[in-house]
Amino acid sequence: MPNLADVFNPDGLLAQHLPGFTHRDAQEKMACCVGEALTQSHHLAVEAGTGIGKTFGYLVPVLLSGQQAVISTGTRTLQDQLYERDLPVLGAAIGRPVSIALLKGRSNYLCWHRLETAQHGGVRNPKLLQQLLPISAWAKTTETGDLTEIEDFSSDHALSSWLTSTTDNCLGNQCEFYNDCFLVEARHRAQAADIVIVNHHLLLADLALKEAGFGKLLPGADAVIVDEAHQLPEIAQQFFGVAVSSRELERLGSDILAETRASGLAGELEQLSGDLARIVADTRIQLGQRTGRIRWSECPSRMRDSMTEWIEALKRLKVGLEPAKEIRPGLLRCSERCQESIERLQEFEARDTDGLKWVEISPRSLAIHWTPLDVGAELGARVEAHGGTWVFTSATLAVGETFNHFLGQVGVTDARTRILPSPFNYEVNARLYLPQVLLQPSDPGYVPMLLASVWPIVEAAGGGAFLLFTSHRSLNEAHDWITGRVLPGPLLVQGAGPRTELLKQFREAGDAVLLGTSSFWQGVDVRGPALRLVVIDKLPFASPGDPLIQARLDAIRQEGGDPFNEFQLPQAALALKQGVGRLIRDFNDRGLVIVCDPRLRTRSYGHVFLDSLPPMPILDDYEEALNFAGSLLPAVDENMDTKNCENTSF
């Protein structure tokens, strides 16, 4: 078996087998760190700057170690890249082909039982029934049951919920199609594989199931590699608490109706399901037009009392299902779901300490939650119980030189750490402009003022700009200000279409201006001159009005800590690092970042943000910024295809 030097040397195995491979010192250093962690069985956190090629940095030592590994990612794009390209290419290059399994969430796989239920009473819309015909034909020919194989079928398709199972409505081994289940087959492949690729939701679900004594989704791996690890703490909140949503109860009622119709039953169950739906809808109405997150204690007392009505309606529904549940496995599962929802509601009511009760309100639904305040302790306990070596990596894990904030969030405080800066030449290719802003971010006229000051720079760059905002309100203000003005290219606004479609339009246009909030601050990769300007309205401090943030700050304060320096500041520094990271995505990229918030200059903590950013020269002079923006304007070239300006990640 070769060693790391044999693989990464300028004339090594990768250079011999991969056209276009370029030796990167930081990539080899990362591989050495990961290899050492696997050999010595210690946890590791690596901040690998953009352009290092971190997937090779962890995949090569995993392959050379011969250990069974789970690789968890934050995006489906990276999952597909690892499975379809990186692992097969590396296995062939170093002479160690391995069995690989890609395990997606259950919402990606066709469920035979749900398809059958949809065809026999569940779906009554004639147009949707017609659309089921080609899907049913495809189902008989597919080997994986992965719905992404179907052209133009997306997760928000009108039939999606009818064709896929959830943990609630899955019948498990009671299903008549269990032996042909695509999800079961995918999990069997995962159990037998050397390397399993999953997403963070599946990884956390596996840890939660094992803790609760419900078996496991993934094999007991020697190593767990968590890529895009900065996303893990927030996702973990969903798995270590108690939650019940109005939508899940509405789905329960809908599934009962579908199952009874498929069984030829009707009558009382329809009425009981309707009663539950009405009670849940009435609870939402009591909250009026309010949306967002609020503490449980801030809800109207009538709304809080209605949880008892939810429980009583579920109990009546469960009793009504008793004579029918032996007729069809789906009705038995509905009965079990009633009981599970009752138990979670009762557990929610009983929770008074060690966490926060809160409500998430959307225009047509609500969800009640109890969340432990210290998710890091919960996650860390499960990491320890799982065992093996854990490697966390991302381009944004450290604040300055320290990983304390991230490691505390994942509960793995004993991990070794390493920062490997990006190989991109920020000092030559990028600039950071800090305009002399006269108003404070809290001032009502802040957004129009900053747009008036930076808009000539947007025009000088000829578009190709992301304008990133910390709130939807600021984005809407910006949209109003820009509407009616002459633009260098198309105006794209978050919410006007799917993110993937907006990004496609942005890449193809080459001169577009895109307005976005949080979903465009991370996980967005636009290489080449299509993106050459990133404008950030203010420092991304989390809203102290969010009940989860409030509770976390209160808990730190009660323990004698400093909430701002221990939580708010590092969170905001990492978020800014993500936003700025959208700009330079390739060795030849050039661009200008504008951070408008005057607090970078006027507050003592400003250096924490600046120290966390790539080493870009800072511009204070407006004319300098204007001239640099003008130098970014792509030369007119009718043959240029900005959407294909990508470099290899090797």
pLDDT digits (tens, 9 = 90+) for 118-148: 888 778 888 888 888 999 999 999 999 999 8
C-alpha–C-alpha distance, residues 620 and 427, integer Å: 16
- Strand (E) or helix (H) holding 40: helix 25-40
Helices (H), 144-245: 160-163, 182-192, 200-212, 232-236
Question: pTM of this prediction?
Answer: 0.89
pLDDT digits (tens, 9 = 90+) for 613-629: 999 999 999 999 999 99
Q: Tell me, what's the pLDDT at 543?
A: 85
C-alpha–C-alpha distance, residues 249 and 277, integer Å: 7
C-alpha–C-alpha distance, residues 482 and 467, integer Å: 11
Which residues, at least 6 apart from 198, have a Cβ–Cβ distance to it below 8 Å? 70, 71, 72, 73, 79, 103, 104, 190, 206, 218
Chain centre distance of CA 312: 36
The pLDDT of 327-352, averaged and rounded, is 92
For residue 477, give Cα distances in angstroms to 464, 469, 474, 487: 20, 10, 5, 17
Which residues, at least 6 apart from 336, have a Cβ–Cβ distance to it below 8 Å? none
Is residue 99's pLDDT more than 90? yes
Q: Tell me, what's the pLDDT at 148?
A: 86
Radius of gyration of the chain (CA): 26
Whether the CB-CB separation of 57 and 392 falls below 8 Å is answered with no
Q: Kindly indicate the confidence band of residue 647, based on its pLDDT and cuts at 50, 70 and 90.
A: very low
Least confident of 237-241, 417-421, 621-625: 237-241
Q: Provide the 10 A C-beta neighbour count for residue 192.
A: 11
What b/e string do you get for 382-403 counting C-beta neighbours within 10 Å, with b at 16 or more?
bbeebebbbbbbbbbbbbeeeb
| Structural domains of the chain sorted by starting position, each given as residue range(s) with its CATH number in brackets | 4-99+193-222+388-420 (3.40.50.300), 106-172 (no CATH), 243-372 (1.10.275), 426-644 (3.40.50.300)
Q: Give the pairing of strands 292-295 and 355-362.
A: antiparallel
C-alpha–C-alpha distance, residues 437 and 440, integer Å: 8
The 3 state secondary structure assigned to 64-94 is: HHCCCEEEEECCHHHHHHHHHHHHHHHHHHH
Whether the CB-CB separation of 549 and 542 falls below 8 Å is answered with yes
Is residue 583's pLDDT more than 80? yes
C-alpha–C-alpha distance, residues 206 and 388, integer Å: 15
Check residues 533 and 256 and name the one with the higher pLDDT. Answer: 533
